[in-house]
Structure 1
Amino acid sequence: MATKETSTRPIYYALGANGGIAAAKFAAAFFTGSGAMLAEAIHSLADCTNQLFLLRGLKEAKKPPDESHPMGYGRVVYFWAMMVALLLFFLGGAFSVLQGVERFSKPEPLENVMIALGVLGISVVLESFSLYGAMKEIRKTSGGKPFFKWFRETRQSELLVVAGEDIAALCGLTLAFIAVLLAVVTGNPIWDAIGTIAVGVLLMVVAVFVMHEVKGMITGESAAPEVHAAIKAHILARPEVDRVIHLITVQWGAQLMVAVQARMHAQPSDHALVDAINAVEETIQQRWPQVKWCFFEPDFDPGTD
């Protein structure tokens, strides 16, 4: 389960890093006239806004259940994660592509290039620090999975978004650095325009990947595969349970909903059956504190697993 600390720490890392980077990039873009640098500055500004969106989503998710939302507001984090992906796509990616196309049609020579290269170098250090913080949190919950597999299976939308942003930022910085360097070495500002477009396309590709994963969370995904399997194995191991007929897990933000249909071993009375069901539910919620709701239905139908 993602705790408050593990959920927000990488976001604050990214917010602090991107705030400083955005200010430096805008200054460098002003002094150099580099389109690639301006694209990177807009990207960092969009990232700052994205982190504020994620923090707002985590805050709203803590609102208690009410009559209109009896299961609480946990899934609101998915809405804000989708907003972040859209902002990354349009403000970060599409704007950069348009800026690059304009620079391509009207190339202008770069000035004070060493300022741009210095800012890009510092930005790489700060973004690396932000990505290190995100990867550190990912390792705590990934169970040793390769990063791409974790990216596809994680239910932590805020951590997924931060990691995606940081990776896109580092790759974008590399492209911008190469573009500015080529523009200086060749004396042809077209390379700066090409770099600006490349940064925009990169951001749009990352945004599409993030949107695809968040869409699954909004639609309603089960718990991570290993968690779902572990819950099923736990129920089957209980002496009160004869057979698990059906098990549904639904990720609800940081919390889980579990619905179980099972054939129980014979009990001496109705009260004993209720006590047996309560005992199973209690052990599930003890082992997985993120299981906020557990619905248990005893059944005689053997069904299928």
Structure 2
Amino acid sequence: MGELFHLLKKGNKSAMIAAIVNTIIAIAKGVAFMFTGNVAMFAETMHSIGDAANQFFVFIGSALSKKAPTDRYPNGFGRLVNLVLLGAVLIVGIMAYETIIEGYHHILHPTESGGFLINIGVLGFALILELFVLYKAMKEVMHEAGEEALGLSVIFKSFAHLGRAKPATKLVFMEDLVASSGGLLAIIAVVIAHFTGILWVEGAASILIGLMMFFVVGRVFLDNAAGVLGRADEEMEEKIGLLVMADPDVKDIQSLAVIKEGEDLHVELEIEIDPNLTIAAADDIKDRLLEKIIAEKGVTDVTIEFDEEDGVRTWNKNIEPKKES
């Protein structure tokens, strides 16, 4: 039990905050729907329930993925967060389906709902909370990307660096981006239906919200399916390649693989060195490279192998040949 609490402290904080906030929002929207019967409110209730459940599982998965390797699982539990996210998107998929079906029925048989001020008040309250969570996720994206951003610049820069965020943070970002957009869409639909009498617009809004939820399902599924399989991080490969080739004793790189498992990066490196070097000198090179590579953000383990220089350039990714002294 003590180990579990220790792991939970390492869980993704953005996901935990989002889970708590979306639980509050889901309760508020659910109560409003019971009083008003508004189909756009139903769509938003389903959306928030899906988000809250999803983000809670994400928090648990991100925490358990930090568990240290065991004899039975020597490669660790890094991919567990990807597996949890694959399961979590099923919840959102079911909610999205129900949201679309309810919206379709409302378009075919539109009914007038009451409680206009209740709907607007609850949706407005929820939108403010969702924007708060989204902004926190944006700041977390920038932190994980190792980039500086202040004020409103966080909003724009977070989109550019989203690909470098951890899977859990990326999911929270995308879900709350859709949630905020859906909340605004629901408010517009409620206002139009109330003042114009065009009741089917609420059903159309429900379908659009459901489709946005399906977009999140598709995007998250593809990202985490690749994570479960063990996706190569090409950007980090190039960065580590430059770092390794900058070492004066490294003649070439035979092979370099940076595999992303959950939030962890595993590096496998084979380099060419002067065959006349002593074992002690080669060991010094290994220690030097290991220290530099393990200092890179997200790298958890490094395997380095040696081969003798063959005079043929293998690694040529943006690398200029070293000048002979």
The TM-score with structure 1 as length reference comes to 0.90
Q: Paired residue for 1:65?
A: 69
Distance 1:207 1:194 in 2: 20
What percentage of aligned pairs have identical amino acids?
28
- Residues 11-60 of structure 1: CA deviation (Å, up to 9, x unaligned): 12212221111111011111111111011011101111011111110222
Matched, 1:251 2:260: yes
What is the Cα deviation at residue 289 of structure 1? Answer: 6.1
Q: Paired residue for 2:151?
A: none
Amino acid across the alignment from 2:286: I
243-252 vs 264-273, which moves further:
264-273
What is the Cα deviation at residue 149 of structure 1? Answer: 4.2
Conserved? CA contact 1:155–1:217, under 8 Å: no
The TM-score with structure 2 as length reference comes to 0.85
Distance 1:213 1:107 in 2: 38
248-257 vs 288-297, which moves further:
288-297
Distance 1:160 1:289 in 2: 17
Conserved? CA contact 2:54–2:91, under 8 Å: yes
Amino acid across the alignment from 2:218: V
Higher relative contact order (CA 8 A, sep 6+): 1
What is the Cα deviation at residue 155 of structure 1? Answer: 5.3
Q: Paired residue for 1:164?
A: 174
Q: Paired residue for 2:91?
A: 87
Q: Paired residue for 2:119?
A: 116
Aligned match for 1:150, one of 161, 174, 183: 161
Amino acid across the alignment from 2:237: H
Q: Paired residue for 2:305?
A: 297
Aligned match for 2:136, one of 118, 133, 138: 133
Conserved? CA contact 1:54–1:80, under 8 Å: yes
What is the Cα deviation at residue 176 of structure 1? Answer: 0.8
1:224 to 1:37, Cα distance in 2 relative to 1, 3 A: farther
Structure 1 unaligned regions, length at least 5 = none
- Residues 264-286 of structure 1: CA deviation (Å, up to 9, x unaligned): 1344423432343233223322x
Matched, 1:51 2:61: no
1:129 to 1:33, Cα distance in 2 relative to 1, 3 A: same
Distance 2:301 2:185 in 1: 47
What is the Cα deviation at residue 256 of structure 1? Answer: 1.6
Distance 1:212 1:58 in 2: 18
Matched, 1:27 2:31: yes
Amino acid across the alignment from 2:115: N
What is the Cα deviation at residue 71 of structure 1? Answer: 0.9
For residue 269 of structure 2, give the secondary structure of its aligned residue in structure 1.
Answer: strand
What is the Cα deviation at residue 304 of structure 1? Answer: 1.9
Q: Paired residue for 1:182?
A: 192
Q: Paired residue for 1:40?
A: 44
1:129 to 1:46, Cα distance in 2 relative to 1, 3 A: same
1:220 to 1:233, Cα distance in 2 relative to 1, 3 A: same
Conserved? CA contact 2:255–2:269, under 8 Å: yes
For residue 91 of structure 2, give the secondary structure of its aligned residue in structure 1.
Answer: helix
Distance 2:110 2:234 in 1: 49
Matched, 1:17 2:26: no
What is the Cα deviation at residue 101 of structure 1? Answer: 1.4
Q: Paired residue for 1:238?
A: 247
Amino acid across the alignment from 2:300: K
For residue 298 of structure 1, give the secondary structure of its aligned residue in structure 2.
Answer: strand
- Residues 222-279 of structure 1: CA deviation (Å, up to 9, x unaligned): 2361x32221111111233111222111112222211111111344423432343233
CA root-mean-square deviation: 2.3
What is the Cα deviation at residue 82 of structure 1? Answer: 1.8
Aligned match for 1:279, one of 259, 271, 288: 288
Aligned match for 1:107, one of 93, 107, 110: 110
Amino acid across the alignment from 1:100: G
Instruction: Count residues in correspondence.
Output: 299
What is the Cα deviation at residue 179 of structure 1? Answer: 1.2
Q: Paired residue for 1:262?
A: 271
1:147 to 1:135, Cα distance in 2 relative to 1, 3 A: closer
Distance 2:157 2:9 in 1: 23
103-112 vs 118-127, which moves further:
103-112
